[in-house]
Structure 1
Amino acid sequence: VHSMKDVPTWLPEGIILPCMLPREDTRDVFISYKAKTIEDLPDGSVIGSASLRRQAQILAKNPNLKVVNFRGNVQTRLRKLKEGQVDATMLAYAGLARMDMTENVTKVLDWDEMLPAVAQGAIGITVRAKDTKMLELLAPLNHAETKTCVDCERAFLQKLDGSCRTPIAGQAR
């Protein structure tokens, strides 16, 4: 069971991706105790993000902001934000929603504010291609619309020779 935004576009031989669960909200969120939006941050403010995609979009909006590499699980990142190590951060809404932590959100960012990662918000299940019993069990769980969209997004990313570490955004609808 995988967060699809982190799954390589090339799967090992004999492994397939037959099942996607219904997709969560694909948007990113802005979290800050000092500003309501990215635009409200003064020049020189520090935003923590481990995502090159987010870093590129933040600096395209305001090159006078400073983006620093910001690692750790969600709880660690929120703690670092509270401690003042950064002025703001951005995370995937889906991850916060799954952990029932959306109370930390300052602003949900629409797509014109921050484009999502390829396959963001999707959970997929990989199996051995020859495991017919598991394929039968997973078939009723598959959400066809999510699978179609995620397959398209992953094909786009693969064509660009991208990965979860390249600053490429994409969303099929």
Structure 2
Amino acid sequence: MRTIVVGTRQSALALTQTNQVVDELRELSRQHGIECDFEIRKIVTKGDRILDVMLSKVGGKGLFVKEIEQAMQDGEIDIAVHSMKDMPFELPEGLVIGAIPQRQDPRDVLITKGETSLDELPQGALVGTSSLRRACQLQHSRPDLRIQSVRGNIDSRMRKLETEGFDAIVLAAAGLHRIGWQDRINAYVPAELCVPAVGQGALCIESRADDEFVLNLLGKFQHEDTALAVRAERSFLGRLEGGCQVPLGAYATVEHGTGGAQLTITAIVGSPDGAELLKETLRGGDPEALGREAADKLIARGADRILAEAYEKQGD
């Protein structure tokens, strides 16, 4: 019997979603007569070690995956469970995305002291987030808001609502849903108002490209509509070569008709202070082409200048 070693970060959320994936893979293997078992291995990443600096100051995408990917390349683990929004566009040689399971709620949410919408936050409210994407869009909608960086695991960030004087903390809905804390959500921020990060709400099961046993199992775990949507969003990301240092986002949905699958993508690029915010919404059938087209349209409107200025500011 093959033992599949699963790599994961050691946060409560990472372990929860990894255990959920393992439970589903174990059931799939049983249904299909695939003899295997699973072992979970915790790995500390750079993003987990540095908690007192805003993500945009620490480095680009890959902060939460590089050490795990190295362990996979070294043969210490066989697969890894990542949050898709943490994944860089380019994967290391020999590694592939083996499966994208069904997406959770992709929206952002507010944890507040009682307010039930963004509009209800008091004038000049102090809002905590580690994401430039969120800060950009929230300040574009509410220029009066004061945005301050907040890092740490979900529980520690929520505690800072009381201990550090925040009026609201902004988090991803998916994480709270996965750990069963839906009742702590005060308000969901509509995706039209705050476009999610690329891949937000989706998981990525990464594996070695030459491990046919594992890829056969993971192929049965793929959720095709989620995979189509994420392919469009990641194509947008790849065209802009974006990361955590700049405010960009993309969210795609899939509909099925007589002509096959049709995707709608909404993509944004903005300045960190929210003064500029470019947005495009497009429809098409080819996910990669659609993502690139959304990026090209934003570039034609000045996204490349905004991104260059954002990167330059990060280097100061």
What is the TM-score normalised by the length of structure 1? 0.95
Secondary structure, counterpart of 1:147 in structure 2: helix
Is 1:152–2:232 an aligned residue pair?
yes
Contact 1:34–1:41 at 8 Å: present in 2 too?
A: no
Corresponding residue of 1:117: 197
Cα shift readout 1:111-167 (whole Å, capped 9, x = no counterpart): 222211110000111111111111111111111111111111111111011124421
Corresponding residue of 2:152: 72
Structure 2: gaps (5+ residues)? 1-80, 254-316
User: What amino acid is the match of 1:98?
Assistant: R
CA separation in 2, counterparts of 1:9 and 1:78? Answer: 30
- Paired residue for 1:97, among 167, 172, 177? 177
- Where do 1:30-69 residues align within 5 Å? 30-69=110-149
Corresponding residue of 2:243: 163
Contact 1:14–1:128 at 8 Å: present in 2 too?
A: yes
CA separation in 1, counterparts of 2:107 and 2:89? Answer: 21
Corresponding residue of 2:56: none
Question: Does 68-77 or 83-92 show the bigger shift?
Answer: 83-92
Count of residues paired in the alignment: 173
CA separation in 1, counterparts of 2:213 and 2:115? Answer: 52
The structure with the largest helix share of the pair is: 2
Corresponding residue of 1:27: 107
Corresponding residue of 2:88: 8
- Paired residue for 1:126, among 206, 211, 214? 206
Corresponding residue of 1:17: 97
Question: Does 67-76 or 56-65 show the bigger shift?
Answer: 56-65
Structure 1: gaps (5+ residues)? none
What is the TM-score normalised by the length of structure 2? 0.53
CA separation in 2, counterparts of 1:128 and 1:164? Answer: 25
Contact 2:118–2:189 at 8 Å: present in 1 too?
A: no
The structure with the largest strand share of the pair is: 2
Corresponding residue of 2:20: none
Contact 1:5–1:164 at 8 Å: present in 2 too?
A: no
CA separation in 2, counterparts of 1:35 and 1:97? Answer: 20
User: What amino acid is the match of 2:106?
Assistant: T
CA distance change for structure 1 residues 82 and 103 in 2, over 3 Å: closer, same or farther?
farther
CA separation in 2, counterparts of 1:155 and 1:19? Answer: 17
Query: Rg bigger for which structure?
Result: 2
Secondary structure, counterpart of 2:248 in structure 1: coil
Spell out structure 1 runs of 4+ moving beyond 6 A. none
CA separation in 2, counterparts of 1:155 and 1:127? Answer: 20
CA separation in 1, counterparts of 2:182 and 2:162? Answer: 15
Secondary structure, counterpart of 2:249 in structure 1: coil
Contact 1:8–1:164 at 8 Å: present in 2 too?
A: no
The percentage of aligned residue pairs carrying the same residue is: 39
Deviation of 1:83 (Å): 2.5
Deviation of 1:102 (Å): 1.1
> For the aligned residues, what is the CA RMSD?
1.2
Contact 1:34–1:87 at 8 Å: present in 2 too?
A: no
User: What amino acid is the match of 1:147?
Assistant: A
